[in-house]
Amino acid sequence: MAHEDRRLQVLRAIVQDYVSTNDPVGSKALAARHDLGVSPATIRNDMAVLEEEGYITQPHTSAGRVPTDKGYRFFVDRLSQVKPLSVAERRAIERFLDGALDLDDVLSRTVRLLAQLTRNVAVIQYPTLSRSAVRHLEVVQLAANRLLVVLITDTGRVEQRVVEIPPVTDAPAGVDPVAELRTLLNAAFVGAKLAEAGVKVADLLDTAPAHLRGLVAAVSATLVETLAEPGEDRLLVGGTANLTRGGALDFPGTLRPLLEALEEQVVVLRLMGEVDPGHVLVRIGEENAHEGFTGASLVSVGYGSAGSADLALGGLGVVGPTRMDYPGTMAAVRAVARYVGQLLAES
Amino acid sequence: MAHEDRRLQVLRAIVQDYVSTNDPVGSKALAARHDLGVSPATIRNDMAVLEEEGYITQPHTSAGRVPTDKGYRFFVDRLSQVKPLSVAERRAIERFLDGALDLDDVLSRTVRLLAQLTRNVAVIQYPTLSRSAVRHLEVVQLAANRLLVVLITDTGRVEQRVVEIPPVTDAPAGVDPVAELRTLLNAAFVGAKLAEAGVKVADLLDTAPAHLRGLVAAVSATLVETLAEPGEDRLLVGGTANLTRGGALDFPGTLRPLLEALEEQVVVLRLMGEVDPGHVLVRIGEENAHEGFTGASLVSVGYGSAGSADLALGGLGVVGPTRMDYPGTMAAVRAVARYVGQLLAES
DNA sequence: GTTGGCACTCGGGATCGGTGAGTGCCAGTC
DNA sequence: GACTGGCACTCACCGATCCCGAGTGCCAAC
């Protein structure tokens, strides 16, 4: 139907105008700014229907209309078109990320870049341990009963854990049990996906020399535990200052709960949930069933495993007000993720 | 002089009342809440003098008085008395920090604890590299021309750097140059204070076998550079949500510049500057010559080297509005620093 | 030096029209 | 049946006005 089609045009126009002006948009202004070919009166009728269907709402009688979460959702799913990045933006991405050497560097640059590009809060998850492989394990003795185990993954992530160990009593004279342990662990784990660590541990416990069993058990337990905890996924956050853009206009409650959620990394990680590379996920307002996030949207995507259909190494994303430039943010997030994937694949 | 003395009592009372109520305090309320033994009229006279001298000010004619930065400074230096922590607070500190194993854990718990105790933003600096000693150096080959060097210090800090290396051409057959390098580096550096690294490097370059010179040079350069950069001091920030406590009342401008400064760690590090253990440093408002910090105060102290007169391993502190509970914050900061120092000394 | 009294100031909150953008409805037109 | 112009109506917002009360400075008296 022709007029149903136009109604969607109207919805799109409302979203676009509201995002750019932050004022509720009325029928007259809409007719003036967009070439809809009909009079304000007609638009009013369409608006009435859209409101009926729950896509838009009025803050108060006799004000313009504002999109609802449902309206944004429809816009994102059906009405927005990919907005290609400008040349300047592409160049900014390259300039910003080139020259980064280690993982920390790449991630912290990325988060700053993304915050700056989108003028919102950016988050990036460290590469998930469970999908990384072991590049090296280092063991350093801190005290008689404590070891420091350093895990280096193929994604460049370096994790440290202190392990309490039982005293080694029956070691053969003349050998350093820690050195033995190191050799043993590396022989067993290097190259292995961390997801397979559980199996390896069982093997190792069988084959290890008797005097090392205690050590191996303690260290293995810590390793497995490290991987099991979902809390071990770490998150980097940047650009929180952007939350104050537009005064208190954007986030209706205070932004306190949002700041709390951002510090409580696990909340954001759960919201990002499973991320695919290449598939940008948008969660709008109330869809984020978490206090403080109900006035915010999260645009996220997986990075890593460039081009392939593999699982992502981790996720990155942008947090902003529901009233946000979705096409632009989605494009930025996707582009940055792709670039980060390339960078990590190189190293 | 008796009345000069009373004037200071008045200043103290003003600071205390203003901090707890956040309302400009007038002569009448002051007389009612404090036992100064004189009438409001007399207090008015004192206030006039205090204002004359720049310790207090009126937001507008016919409002109460508010302390100036100078007033807070005087209060902190001369009028405040140490406020011992409550038993509950002491217990909270222990409960919060006990059970932390590795350094990251200690620091992140500390920052959360401090933010919660003081209801403000807490910051803590990682132990300065230049005052740490090397516990272990690990070298892992990433690619033909890239090494990952992992530095483990006696404070438990683990730092990673990627080093671009020249190709090794003239290695004797049958030996692994990376393994050689690892042995060589550890022999040279383990136990050495990182501040002395420069000297060690020179030695090492002389004595290293010819075919390793290139490697040693590259790695050493990175190490020295790592230490030289003051930017390598890292900072952990927590409790930013507390900035929004009291609405926009506290921070007069927006809190945007403050959030930016907190993300730009180097700003905070510079403000903390040289920290002594045991000596709590308070910087008030305009004393922090940095945009965004002019409405804020920083209470900081060094931690580490428990009891001794040594230099601090790092600093920790609290950032809040100038209108803050200085005695309480100072006590909390000092107590937490002492406890952290003990924890780190144990490991 | 301290105190009570007094006139004065001025920010904040409440009240109150005016204005204008925006709406819903309706009758008329294509 | 869909669109349009007209029209009455509704409110949020803005500015002006007013009032109140906390607070001050000053002064004369103790």
CA atoms within 13 A of residue B82's CA, in its CB half-sphere: 9
> B80 versus B54: which is more confidently predicted?
B54
**What pLDDT, on a 0 to 100 scale, did the predictor assign at position B36?**
83
> By CB neighbour count within 10 A (0-12 exposed, 13-18 middle, 19+ buried), where does A105 fall?
middle
Residue A227 in contact with residue A197, Cβ under 8 Å? yes
- A30 nearest nt, CA–C1': C22
* Closest to A296 (Cα-Cα) out of A268, A277, A274, A269: A268
CA distance linking residue B312 with residue B15, whole number of Å: 32
Which has the minimum average pLDDT: B4-8, B25-29, B167-171? Answer: B167-171
CA distance linking residue B272 with residue B261, whole number of Å: 13
In this prediction the pTM is 0.90
* Closest to A22 (Cα-Cα) out of A319, A324, A239: A324
**What pLDDT, on a 0 to 100 scale, did the predictor assign at position A150?**
92
Nearest CB to A102; choose among B102, B162, B239? B162
Query: Does pLDDT of A101 surpass 80?
Result: no
Residue A106 in contact with residue A314, Cβ under 8 Å? no
Nearest CB to B160; choose among A158, A256, A263? A158
A235 touches strand C (CB under 7 A): no
Residue A67 in contact with residue A14, Cβ under 8 Å? yes
Confidence of residue A19 (pLDDT cuts 50, 70, 90): very high
Angstrom distances, CA of residue A136 to CA of A142, A189, A204, B173: 19, 8, 16, 24
Average pLDDT, chain A: 87
CA distance linking residue A300 with residue A314, whole number of Å: 10
Strands of A180-305, DSSP E: 235-238, 281-284, 296-303
Confidence of residue B237 (pLDDT cuts 50, 70, 90): very high
Share of chain A above pLDDT 90, in %: 44
Q: Are strands B235-238 and B121-125 parallel, antiparallel or unpaired?
A: antiparallel
CA distance linking residue B176 with residue A186, whole number of Å: 16
| Cβ of residue A244 closer than 8 Å to a chain B Cβ | yes
Q: Within window 43-82 on B, which residues have Cβ closer than 7 Å to strand C?
A: 45, 60-63
**What pLDDT, on a 0 to 100 scale, did the predictor assign at position B302?**
94
Which distant-in-sequence residues (6+ apart) come within 8 Å of A249 by Cβ? A22
**What pLDDT, on a 0 to 100 scale, did the predictor assign at position B347?**
62
Confidence of residue A125 (pLDDT cuts 50, 70, 90): very high
Residue A311 in contact with residue A273, Cβ under 8 Å? no
* Closest to B219 (Cα-Cα) out of B307, B157, B134, B108: B134
Nearest CB to B240; choose among A102, A257, A259? A259
Residue A281, helix vs strand vs coil: strand
Confidence of residue A332 (pLDDT cuts 50, 70, 90): very high
A123 bridge partner residues:
A237, A317
* Closest to B296 (Cα-Cα) out of B316, B338, B336, B324: B324
C-alpha B87: how far from chain center: 25
Question: Among all chains, which residue has been given the structure tokens 């919102």?
Answer: A120
A64 touches strand C (CB under 7 A): yes
pLDDT digits (tens, 9 = 90+) for A259-268: 999 999 989 9
A159 bridge partner residues:
A151
| Cβ of residue A136 closer than 8 Å to a chain B Cβ | yes
**What pLDDT, on a 0 to 100 scale, did the predictor assign at position A327?**
96
Cβ of B245 within 8 Å of Cβ of A259? The answer is no
CA atoms within 13 A of residue B110's CA, in its CB half-sphere: 31
**What pLDDT, on a 0 to 100 scale, did the predictor assign at position B66?**
95
pLDDT digits (tens, 9 = 90+) for A54-91: 999 998 888 889 999 999 999 999 988 888 899 999 99
Q: Can you give the length of chain A in residues?
A: 347
Share of chain B above pLDDT 70, in %: 94
Task: Give the count of Cβ contacts less than 8 A between chain A and B.
Answer: 94
Average pLDDT of span B128-143: 88
Query: Does pLDDT of A115 surpass 90?
Result: yes
Q: Can you give the length of chain B in residues?
A: 347
Average pLDDT of span A151-164: 89
> B282 versus A305: which is more confidently predicted?
B282
Q: DSSP string spanning B189-247? A: HTT-BGGGHHHHHHHHHHHS-GGGHHHHHHHHHHHHHHHH-GGG--EEEE-GGGGGTTT
What chain A holds in terms of domains, given with CATH numbers, is 3-77 (1.10.10.10), 87-127+233-346 (3.30.450.40), 131-227 (3.30.390.60)
CA distance linking residue A121 with residue A176, whole number of Å: 49
Share of chain A above pLDDT 70, in %: 93
CA distance linking residue B315 with residue B111, whole number of Å: 12
| Cβ of residue A143 closer than 8 Å to a chain B Cβ | yes
pLDDT digits (tens, 9 = 90+) for A217-240: 888 888 888 777 666 788 999 999
Residue B85, helix vs strand vs coil: coil
**What pLDDT, on a 0 to 100 scale, did the predictor assign at position B26?**
92
Measured in angstroms, what separates residue A61's CA from nucleotide C22's C1'? 8
Question: Among all chains, which residue has been given the structure tokens 């429809």?
Answer: A74
**What pLDDT, on a 0 to 100 scale, did the predictor assign at position A254?**
75
Average pLDDT, chain B: 87
Measured in angstroms, the CA of B6 and the nearest CA of chain A are apart by 41
Residue A131 in contact with residue A311, Cβ under 8 Å? yes
Query: Does pLDDT of A325 surpass 70?
Result: yes
CA atoms within 13 A of residue B40's CA, in its CB half-sphere: 9
Q: What angle do CA A335, A338, A342 make, to 5 degrees?
A: 140
| Cβ of residue B241 closer than 8 Å to a chain A Cβ | yes
Residue A138, helix vs strand vs coil: strand
Measured in angstroms, what separates residue B13's CA from nucleotide C6's C1'? 27
Cβ of A158 within 8 Å of Cβ of B162? The answer is no
Confidence of residue B35 (pLDDT cuts 50, 70, 90): confident
Which has the minimum average pLDDT: A252-256, A333-337, B255-259? Answer: A252-256
pLDDT digits (tens, 9 = 90+) for B175-184: 788 888 899 8
Average pLDDT of span B113-126: 96
Residues with CB under 7 A from strand D: A 2-3, 6, 37-39, 41-42, 45, 60-63; B 23-29, 40-41, 44, 47-48, 51, 58, 61-65
Q: DSSP string spanning B251-303? A: SSS-SHHHHHHHHSHHHHHHHH-S-BBTB-EEEEGGGS-STTTTTEEEEEEEE
CA distance linking residue B330 with residue B89, whole number of Å: 13
Angstrom distances, CA of residue B38 to CA of A286, B27, B126, B177: 58, 11, 51, 84
| Cβ of residue B48 closer than 8 Å to a chain A Cβ | no
Average pLDDT of span B292-317: 83
CA distance linking residue A321 with residue A112, whole number of Å: 18
